[in-house]
Chain A
Amino acid sequence: MPQEYDLTLWISRYDPDTRRSWVQDYRLQAGRILRFVDIFRKINDEQDPTLAWSSSCEHGQCGTCGMKINGKPLLTCELLVENAVRLFKTQAFTVEPLTIAPVIRDLVINMEEAYARVHSVKPYIIQPAPPHPEGDEYRISPKVLETYVDATRCINCFCCATACVTQKNYLGPNAMLANIVRLMDPRETAKQERMDILYSEQGTPRCRTAQACTFVCPKEIDVAHFIALAKEGRCA
């Protein structure tokens, strides 16, 4: 396995001042365990300080650095160069922003707009159940928790929503998951309100069970499984 790779990156650029879009290519050498966010930083340092991209935690917890690499939506803080070369069988990569919201600049999208879908499903307990009579905390049995705990790992990186077959008039897999996880949560009592959102025209009828959401999820959540549970009527 080579220690360094000669990479070619075709990066989508967008200048909001001139409203010009173009693809710029960068050639650089990179070590095999560099991540793509490290490569972007290297480009900023060595070649082009104007390239805009976004990241925060850089260890797969915040979902800020989601991008499309050779068409696949993923977290660039988790993608090592050697893994990318193995996955795509090439050392040349297209880098594009996620398609879920308008681009602000280069690889940075308007996350506020992307989050509007998640906010529309009320990602919080709308009407909490009364606390346990023997204490202040509400107790959830491990057996119940096990049925939906995987879904709670979603970080709203929007990779699933970008990969989804349905791009219009749909809440998107992660927003659906945010609703389903609270529907399965015994602390939530506003079940009917959640059901109304779930089965609305922008909800389950728009899912095609293509399972691209499951395929791309960086947190390895079987998103399609949870949406199928909703269709089956087994998540309330």
Chain B
Amino acid sequence: MDTSAPRTGVEAYLIGILERSERVSNYARSRGWRFVMTWAHRIAGGILVLYVLFHTCTLSALHEPAVFASKMELFHTFIFRFLGWVLAVPVIFHALNGTRLILYESFRVRKDPTMIRWVFVLGAIYVLTLGFFMLTGNQEVSPCFFWLIIAIASAISSTILYKRLRHTQNGILWKLQRVSGAFLLPLVSGHMFFMHLNHRAGHDVDTILARLSAPGMKALDFVFVSLVYFHAGYGLCTIIGDYVEDIRIRSGLRVLVIFVLGAFAYTGAKIILTV
């Protein structure tokens, strides 16, 4: 993604739009597009943290199905459905860009400009397909089959990465951040897809409760929540470490992040295990 490299077609058009922002253009010219991608990754991650907190709050109403059902009415409005679709952008961008970074760091895939193009192409396909299913809303898939495939894909991707990292001397939390990312890639993108692919799965309280009562789903969702909160917490602590020099302030902020995310993770896990 060297700024001087010639571009054609859609790519040139999109870069032209991005370069209209003076700040983005300056960073792209002075630090490269991959620097801009790093910032976009962080911003997407920040949005996802906020959404996960919001999502946990919403799901906490599952203990009272009638209250939950009435809250869900709000999410059936056009604006919330549109926001739900827009959320797919940071989700898939963070997932695919994270994959690009893992491939660069651990699998020596150095063709970064090509990888960045794939991030955007696959991301666009995902978002458009999701939008299509949201509009049609008449699909039905077997939850058991769908989640089995997703669980297998998550297990394979995280195991491959774990094998790659296990003998390195990188810190254990650093490794876990990467492995959790590899596990979450199929799980998060699959989760979002499933909720809209199978219309009732994301909207009908009885369907949600029936799904959550299955032991296999409980186990998978428990792993899901644990890894999401770990991944988010480690990411935030990393950002704090990058900017806060004073060790007391840094430690204080990290404790705060761990406490808040830990409380939300506990709430999320409790919903899954007790509903």
C-alpha gap A222/B271 in the complex (Å): 48
Question: Known contacts being A72-B29, A228-B105, is A215 close to B171, with CB within 8 Å?
Answer: no
Do the beta carbons of A163 and B244 come within 8 Å of each other?
no
C-alpha gap A205/B110 in the complex (Å): 20
Cβ of A41 under 8 Å from chain B: no
Question: Known contacts being A70-B30, A71-B30, A232-B106, is A163 close to B35, with CB within 8 Å?
Answer: yes
Question: Known contacts being A169-B241, A231-B170, A232-B168, is A212 close to B29, with CB within 8 Å?
Answer: no
Cβ of A126 under 8 Å from chain B: no
Cβ of B259 under 8 Å from chain A: no
Contacts of A198 in B (CB 8 A): 169
The binding surface of chain B is classed by DSSP as helix
C-alpha gap A163/B26 in the complex (Å): 12
Cβ of A211 under 8 Å from chain B: yes
Of A166, A168, A209, A233, which one neighbours B168 at CB under 8 angstroms?
A: A233
By beta carbon, the residue of chain B nearest A225 is B110
Interfacial residues of chain B within 150-171, with CB under 8 A of chain A in the complex: 164-165, 167-171
Question: Known contacts being A165-B38, A232-B105, is A212 close to B168, with CB within 8 Å?
Answer: no
Do the beta carbons of A211 and B30 come within 8 Å of each other?
no
B10 to chain A, nearest CB (A): 23
C-alpha gap A224/B35 in the complex (Å): 12
Contacts of B80 in A (CB 8 A): none
B106 to chain A, nearest CB (A): 6
Do the beta carbons of B34 and A228 come within 8 Å of each other?
no
By beta carbon, the residue of chain A nearest B109 is A228
Of B37, B171, B238, which one neighbours A199 at CB under 8 angstroms?
A: B171
Contacts of B108 in A (CB 8 A): 228-229, 232
Do the beta carbons of A206 and B241 come within 8 Å of each other?
yes
Contacts of A229 in B (CB 8 A): 108
By beta carbon, the residue of chain B nearest A204 is B170
Cβ of B112 under 8 Å from chain A: yes
Question: Known contacts being A168-B243, A168-B244, is A233 close to B170, with CB within 8 Å?
Answer: yes
Cβ of A154 under 8 Å from chain B: no
B95 to chain A, nearest CB (A): 16
Contacts of B244 in A (CB 8 A): 168
Contacts of B238 in A (CB 8 A): 205
Interface residue tally of chain B, by bracket? 20 to 34
Contacts of A166 in B (CB 8 A): 242
Do the beta carbons of B31 and A210 come within 8 Å of each other?
yes
Do the beta carbons of A210 and B34 come within 8 Å of each other?
yes
Residue among B30, B165, B242 with most chain A CB within 10 A: B30
Contacts of B27 in A (CB 8 A): 71
Do the beta carbons of A215 and B104 come within 8 Å of each other?
no
C-alpha gap A211/B113 in the complex (Å): 12
Interfacial residues of chain B within 167-210, with CB under 8 A of chain A in the complex: 167-171, 174
Question: Scoring A residues 196 to 232 as 1 if CB is less than 8 Å from chain B, else 0, what string do you get?
Answer: 0011010011101111101110000000110011011
C-alpha gap A201/B106 in the complex (Å): 19
Contacts of B105 in A (CB 8 A): 209, 228, 231-232
By beta carbon, the residue of chain A nearest B2 is A215
Cβ of A57 under 8 Å from chain B: no
By beta carbon, the residue of chain B nearest A215 is B32
Contacts of B171 in A (CB 8 A): 199, 201, 205
Cβ of B87 under 8 Å from chain A: no
Question: Known contacts being A199-B170, A208-B38, A209-B38, is A87 close to B242, with CB within 8 Å?
Answer: no
Contacts of A195 in B (CB 8 A): 169
C-alpha gap A214/B245 in the complex (Å): 25
A207 to chain B, nearest CB (A): 9
Question: Scoring A residues 4 to 43 as 1 if CB is less than 8 Å from chain B, else 0, what string do you get?
Answer: 0000000000000000000000000000000000000000
Q: A212-B32, A216-B32, A229-B108 are in contact. List 16 more A-B contacts (CB 8 A).
A: A70-B29, A71-B30, A72-B31, A163-B30, A167-B242, A168-B245, A169-B242, A199-B169, A205-B171, A209-B101, A210-B32, A210-B34, A215-B2, A216-B31, A233-B165, A233-B170
User: Which residues of chain B have a CB within 8 Å of any CB of chain A?
Assistant: 2, 26-27, 29-32, 34-35, 37-39, 101, 104-106, 108, 110, 112, 164-165, 167-171, 174, 238, 241-245, 250
* 6 interchain residue pairs of minimum CB distance: A233-B168, A215-B32, A72-B30, A210-B38, A71-B30, A212-B31
18 contacts between A and B (CB under 8 A): A72-B30, A88-B29, A168-B241, A168-B244, A169-B250, A195-B169, A201-B241, A204-B170, A205-B174, A206-B241, A208-B242, A209-B104, A212-B34, A215-B2, A216-B32, A229-B108, A232-B108, A233-B167
